[in-house]
Chains A and B, each alone.
Chain A
Amino acid sequence: MKTGNEQRDTLAAPAGRRDWLAGGWALFWENPIGKIGLILMACFALMAAASFVPPLLDPMYHPMHGVDPEISHATGPSAAHWLGTDFIGRDILSQLLAGARIAFMVGLSAAFMSIFFGTLIGMISGYAGRFVDTLLMRIADMVMVMPTLLVVLILSSLFGQLRIWTIVLLIALFRWPGVSRVIRAQTLTLKHRPFIEAARVTGASHLRIIFRHIFPNVLPLALLYMTFRVTSAIIIEAALAFLGFGDPGTVSWGMMLQWVWKTGHMFQAPYWLLPPGICISLLTLSFYMLGRAMEEVLDPRLRKEGESE
């Protein structure tokens, strides 16, 4: 859809947008919640990146298949295993790092997909109105009232173990309606703004109006919702894995918790139970804080645009 010229503008990095971003960033950084959230998230991103290192050092540090030949049961922290090992002698630290990678992957991709569907459906629904709107929003209502976790549990008991990407897709498919409701509401208010009417008068097609005029205006809101969706996706995946419906071929934090529980180490091995539990809480918290801070950045700006700008 982009023409050569339009691409050139984006390349020329207009000073205006940079100012705008810089102003938003300053507001964000001033907010302690945003600062803490971002730092926390950066720590987890580092963990995810570091997850590739231990298996390279020694095959026994492979989170899934690596077993310390000298250890055959759960042991506490030691020089060789900083966080200890699990019941068959696998290194908990490398499992924890691998879990961070999975959590990011699941969280971001499920959130991205649900935002993608939600935004698209919300914009179409709000812009088209009438019949299309009613139809899409009824579907959204139906999906919205389905308990995601329960449906995924039923599906996995029907089809056996689910692959991690199937889980991601299912989460995305069940989590778009909330986003589309919000985006639809925003689109409805935008639809009658004079700049949309001005585009109609110039002869812009419906597609052009939706993607060129409405989309950038709902994008900040969509990104905001994405941070909240990341949180819920991580929690759903962890819950599934803990209940034993996770992808058996991956090491996620929920999976680690399931192993602790299944092997009866709940109260015997705090060094094994606590790290994944704390990580799940902190990572979801960091995205949540990020979202809250973003909300505060967007909010005064949205208000300002309404009245004086």
Chain B
Amino acid sequence: MDLLEPHPQGAVLRTSIMKTDSPIAVELVEATKIFRTKKTFFGRSGEQVTALDRVSFSIRQGEIFGLVGESGSGKTTAGRLIVKLDEPDSGKVLVDGVNLSEIRGHKMKRFRRRIQMIFQDPYQSLNPYLSVYQTVCEPVVIHRLAAPQKRLETVVSALSQVGLTPPEDYLFRYPHQLSGGQRQRVAIARSTVLNPEIIVADEPTSMLDASISIQIFNILVRLKQNLNATFLFITHSLAAALYLCDRIAVIRKGKIVEMGPAKAIIRKPEHPYTRELIRSQPRFRKKTEQRGSFRPWENGATSS
């Protein structure tokens, strides 16, 4: 695995890294997932909800692929199929050409090491009774990645990679002593400590404030370069997808309505739903050029 030099600003590289000729890492082929709701209290029979309806897409190695959709569009379900938290009812999920539903037992455990997931809600995805060290160390223990005396070192380096510095301060804290942003960093450290090849990030910032989201995005972009990993980035935010993703697919009610390079889709949407989505974005133009024309900490102003 050759490491790319991290970009000084930790960003920008969004289109340059895309290689159209690199092999396909993950592929969904006509994947369908149906959820059956239980019978209701009033005895109405169980309903079926088609979360994914014959969805196909493929992610190339080293790419950030964005899955953009609203709540209930099936975007999270697609991510869960890839990490095998759910099984498709029909269709296939291929990772490096291997059908996931055929992997079992020990092979499954080895496979888990290669594909990791970052969950949406850092308030829910960390065990409240485990310290930061125990949380991040767990994958290392499970996969026997480091000798017991090297574990601390591994955890410390994973924590500093996600910007929890100095890591020693965080090792023995519990989730309830951390802010949302810090928790999400711990969750990211837990999934990246295994050096996975594929990372599914399920709305990793939807529970966080804007300024913290930017911190997390920057960490993800840097990690992606360091690990040379493939990313599936699941989001409801077109803007975030534009900034982070090489290609995106817009998904609605379990079906992909539009797929292609992020910029092309957002600048020239073809599908009416994508157009509607773009039209609904809050109109708010940043006026960067005028920003900070007044700087109270430098030049004068009358104090009142």
Q: A residues engaging B (CB < 8 A)?
A: 3-6, 9, 12, 14-17, 19-20, 193-195, 197-205, 208, 212-213, 216-217, 305, 308-309
Contacts and interface: CB of A to CB of B under 8 A. Distances in A.
Contacts of B3: none
Interface stretch (B5-13, B26-34, B114-122): B114-122
Given A9-B133, A15-B172, A217 B112 contact: no
Nearest to A20: B174
A204 B172 contact: no
Interface of B: 83, 85, 108-109, 112-113, 115-117, 119-121, 123-131, 133-134, 137-139, 141-143, 148, 151-152, 172-177, 187, 190-191, 194
A203 B139 contact: yes
Contacts of B190: 198, 202
A4 B173 contact: no
A4 B150 CA distance: 12
Contacts of A213: 127, 130
Contacts of A3: 141, 148
Contact of A201 (B116, B141, B175): B116
A205 to B, nearest CB: 8
A201 B85 contact: yes
Q: Which 3 A-B pairs have the closest CB atoms?
A: A203-B112, A216-B129, A14-B172
Contacts of B151: 5
A309 B125 CA distance: 11
Contact of A198 (B108, B119, B141): B119
Given A19-B177, A213-B127, A305-B128, A194 B142 contact: no
A5 B177 contact: no
A207 to B, nearest CB: 11
A203 B130 CA distance: 17
Nearest to B142: A203
- Among A14, A202, A204, max chain B CB count under 10 A is at A202
- Among B113, B119, B129, B148, max chain A CB count under 10 A is at B129
A213 B83 CA distance: 20
Contacts of B83: 201
B125 to A, nearest CB: 4
